[in-house]
Chain A
Amino acid sequence: MRRWIVACLLLGACGGAPSAPAPRLPAPRVDAAAGVAAPAGLPSCARRGQQPLPARLAAARQGSAVVLAREGSRLLAYVADADSHSVHTVSIDDRRELGHTRLGGSPRQLLVLADGRVVATLSDGARLAVLEPDPDPTRPLATLCERDVPAEPWGLALSPDDGRLVVTSAWAGTLSILDAATFATRRVVPLARDPRGVLVDEGGVAYVSHLVGARMSMVDLASADAAPEVVDLAARKSSPRAQLADMVARRTGSQGYALASVSMPARVGGEASLRRVLLPMVSVDPGDPGRPSSVYYGPPFDGVPKEAPMVSVVDPERKEMVTPYLLAATETTFARECLLPRAAAVRDRTRSLLVTCFGIDALLELDAWALDPFRAERKRFDVPPGPEGVAVDETSGRAVVFSQLGGALTVIDLDHAATRKATIDLDYRPDPKLAAVARGRQLFYRTDDVRISGDGLGCSSCHQDGRDDAITWATPLGARQTLMLAGRVADTQPYGWEGDRATLADYIGNTVTRLGGKGLAQPELESLSAFLLALEGPPAPPARASDAALARRGRALFEDPAQGCVTCHAGSASTDAAVHNLTQGSLGFQSTTFDTPSLRFVRGTAPYFHDGRYPTLEELLADDKSTMGHSASLPEGERAALAAYLRSL
């Protein structure tokens, strides 16, 4: 009994979430207004008006939190304000907001279609919305239709022929391929966890960034069933002071929100003929989990920080990084690094890669042709807090940055940057719950704050948007996996793997001390606690009947006292708020007692266990060497049911 209890106790999280299969569509009907087929039973997404709409910019087929369109000679911006559940329409030339549109969810990215309609991912659910701007831009956009997609839709892109719309779903871990005329789902491709940004190249291949795991996925849109290919973005470091073992070790990655592509000439002054995919991220050295570290974190001794900004540059033909090396020619690290890259865009005319950075609240202009553009920074521009998106108008040389936390738009003349920067305050009306924790939210996203860490890291460095980085870190107490916080901290005290902190504020205070920070004052700790408690978990994926039946079987097993799961994972928070001893598999230096973690949202937090030893829930449940119970001896079907139930939590 006891062994089984611990087995359930240490389920860390789960990933590799199987996506929903492509729905079987009924025979399409022809939509007379648009001349396109719409799936029966679904509302048409066709335009209702006849007048020309503001036109998207040439070749702009990638979604962003801010997108541009041209209405005659006037440049407009549509802004996805997730906090306010709104899309703002802004005149860039007049530097004022023209109007805003309330939506039934949190818009994450927008994309302007060829005919001027606007698609929005609603990331707090499992839908995307198709909107039609009004000829009068001061009036709200009309919602033409909504379509179901897997949970937490995030990134958007169109194929070059505008025939396919692709949508990443962050929590579900999928790429949906939709018919761009009818918005009917043609295929849902399962991906590794946390896909975010997406773009499609001229050959019809979709490239997807992943928030965690140092990887990029490639999906051939023309294929009916080809599995995605994965490009490894793990870097090695090189430094005059690095030790050999460190130079050989492969790092991992984090903060893979965005990606962009650039064309470049093969010869100096020649025609653009080469293509590269650029993925701003953070290269992470978590240490060797098999060895204790002397400190939790801290400045490096060789000039290469544990978390260092890096743009992974991929040759799409070879399907690999052009160079995997992270170089540092100094012993000291830079201040004000871009440790939370969030959005990216390319300005081809000046071969610039523009990257927005949370934490330091800046837009960086980098050399897009460099093998690591972060090593070739050209300019940086300060912007209001939380730069969530960036768009570029090649014609006028302006970059437009949307700052979510500041509720503002910044227009930057890239060719005359020193004097030409304007901020446009938006009609920012965040959800009152969010507004109440704004201070803690800003603290959560700050980097380079000496109170929080000694090496520039912020809370969101490991807990991106309150989630986890899927990394197992070497610590003085042994290997420890980052825990997911969003939706998981309410009623789950005590906190930390050791369960030695009674309150959230106490735990945060201890963490910033471990990070080498000088410490936060109690009001700030309380602000952070309030923000974490207000953080909502990921949206629930739509339940499929077959999954539901399996999960019901699994729930019965889970709640069966004979199995003992609920002895520890009890109540709505699925934790008994107690510390348990676990000796199996621990090295001498490691502590062996652990707090029962909550199992909420366990499906999306692979790998599992305090030391991340299990890549999947199935492997955890099937380990016959585990001291945690009898799951390995259960029939495979029952283990599958148990896993299905855990994924439903």
Chain B
Amino acid sequence: MRPAPWVAALALGGLGLACGTPAARLPARPPAVVTPPAPPAPDEEASAKPGVPLPEPPRVAGARALEGFLATGASRPHARSLDFDVEALPVAAWGEPPGSAGFSIAPVPDGYRLLVSDAVFAEVLLATMPAHDGTAPVAFTAFTGGTFSQGAPPVCGPGHAGTLLARWAGFAPRGWTDRGLEVQMADGDFSLAACRAVAKAYVTARAAAIVPGFVYGLRVRQDESNAGDETLYLLMPRAPMVAASGDPTTPLSVANSGVFTRLSFHLHPGASGAASLRISAASLALWSRLRAGGSGWGFADRAEPHDDLLVGVDVAWQGDDKVASISFALPKTRDAGAYSGLLAAVDRASR
């Protein structure tokens, strides 16, 4: 099942409070604007502009040069790739939760209040019980520390009964350095009577930097000894557009983006995963704001994601080994200045 369309939601953050109407990821996005053609690079032909003849007419008597009628629009931006060693990333295992781990959702007159016990910036996912095929459609997801949500918030409180599957993950500014990030994740049940999720399994670990200050990774196993089955989590700045491989019936089990982006890749021998996402300059500014202890409150992104930094992630467990890379490609139309910090970090990590 595909998640329900975006709906207006209100999340309260700052130790779990944020509110407002959803500022991003609305369906009523205006039609994408076609950008003017990128200025040709030194090695690109001038015929990217309409009306300019192609440089190489057929060298055959009687044949004239074809007029240039090439479509305008941006061509693929050139990418730089960074390999990273999955095995070198920290590994953690699910364990017993602390008694306080959980989150609550409290309806308020114009929305709801979301409170997560331990992480400042967290995503929560609520899903219906697994179907016979094991899929568990996500019914609702929201982020604290900002105004990002998808699906209808659960109708809960006195008089309601039953549970939903709940998962939440997040991190806090405290201890956030270029080299690492403290991450908490939990699985549990959300009680519709209590409007509260209680953790049944919990993991906390320090994710390591893949691109220092910008992209962090962590592996999580069901138990420490099971090295043949793990999930790789990547945390990075918010991406207004995310496309990821994986079961399309449970898209949010592989990727989600709100005040930050979380990618998940379930790894076992023969498994692979890929994601393609866009990170805007505004998203990078938001990321910096989060790290400084601020929130995503009031954040508004542009509606031109095709013009943002294009990020690709590839992960594969091929043979006995895991290979992974992350690529970054900046459209020529985009001012590189806003991305200079990230791209410099990529360069440093490449050395």
Residues of A within 8 A of B (CB): 236, 238-240, 242-244, 247-248, 264-268, 273-274, 276, 303, 315, 317-318, 322-325, 327-337, 361, 367, 369-372, 374-382, 384-385, 403, 405-408, 417-419, 421, 425, 428, 430, 435-436, 438-439, 441-443, 446, 448-451, 456, 518
Alpha-carbon distance A239/B245, docked complex (angstroms): 9
Assuming the A-B contacts A371-B316, A406-B58, are A335 and B74 also in contact, with contact meaning beta carbons closer than 8 angstroms in the complex? Answer: yes
Question: Inside 8 A of A317's CB, which chain B residues have their CB?
Answer: 318-319
Question: Inside 8 A of A380's CB, which chain B residues have their CB?
Answer: 43-44, 75, 78
Interface residues of B in 42-84 (CB under 8 A from A): 42-45, 48, 50, 54-56, 58-64, 66, 69-81, 83-84
Residue of chain B at shortest CB distance from A518: B69
Question: Inside 8 A of B50's CB, which chain A residues have their CB?
Answer: 450
Question: Inside 8 A of B79's CB, which chain A residues have their CB?
Answer: 367, 375-378
Question: Inside 8 A of B85's CB, which chain A residues have their CB?
Answer: 267-268
Residue pair B321, A376 in contact (C-beta under 8 Å)? no
Interface residues of B in 18-48 (CB under 8 A from A): 29, 32, 34, 37, 41-45, 48
Residue of chain B at shortest CB distance from A367: B81
Assuming the A-B contacts A328-B243, A331-B306, A376-B327, are A267 and B73 also in contact, with contact meaning beta carbons closer than 8 angstroms in the complex? Answer: no
Asked if B262 lies at the interface with its beta carbon under 8 angstroms from chain A, I say no
A197 to chain B, nearest CB (A): 22
Question: Inside 8 A of B322's CB, which chain A residues have their CB?
Answer: 266
Interface residues of B in 293-332 (CB under 8 A from A): 305-306, 310, 312, 314, 316, 318-323, 325, 327, 329
A160 to chain B, nearest CB (A): 20
Assuming the A-B contacts A329-B241, A382-B44, are A334 and B318 also in contact, with contact meaning beta carbons closer than 8 angstroms in the complex? Answer: no
Asked if B90 lies at the interface with its beta carbon under 8 angstroms from chain A, I say no
Residue pair B58, A438 in contact (C-beta under 8 Å)? yes
Alpha-carbon distance A34/B66, docked complex (angstroms): 51
The interface centre, meaning the residue of B80, B84, B244, B323 with most chain A CB atoms within 10 A of its CB, is B323
Alpha-carbon distance A181/B348, docked complex (angstroms): 52
B44 to chain A, nearest CB (A): 7
B60 to chain A, nearest CB (A): 4
- Further 19 A-B residue pairs, CB within 8 A, beyond A329-B241, A329-B276: A236-B248, A240-B242, A273-B319, A322-B272, A327-B276, A329-B242, A330-B32, A330-B241, A332-B32, A335-B71, A337-B75, A367-B327, A376-B329, A377-B76, A439-B58, A439-B63, A449-B70, A450-B50, A518-B69
Residue pair A268, B248 in contact (C-beta under 8 Å)? no
Residue pair B71, A428 in contact (C-beta under 8 Å)? no
Asked if B174 lies at the interface with its beta carbon under 8 angstroms from chain A, I say no
Residue pair A244, B2 in contact (C-beta under 8 Å)? yes
Residue pair A417, B318 in contact (C-beta under 8 Å)? no
Residue pair A274, B274 in contact (C-beta under 8 Å)? no
Asked if B341 lies at the interface with its beta carbon under 8 angstroms from chain A, I say no
Interface residue from B78, B272, B306 paired with A371 (Cβ < 8 Å): B272
Alpha-carbon distance A336/B37, docked complex (angstroms): 11
Alpha-carbon distance A378/B41, docked complex (angstroms): 13
A141 to chain B, nearest CB (A): 24
Interface residue from B29, B34, B319 paired with A266 (Cβ < 8 Å): B319
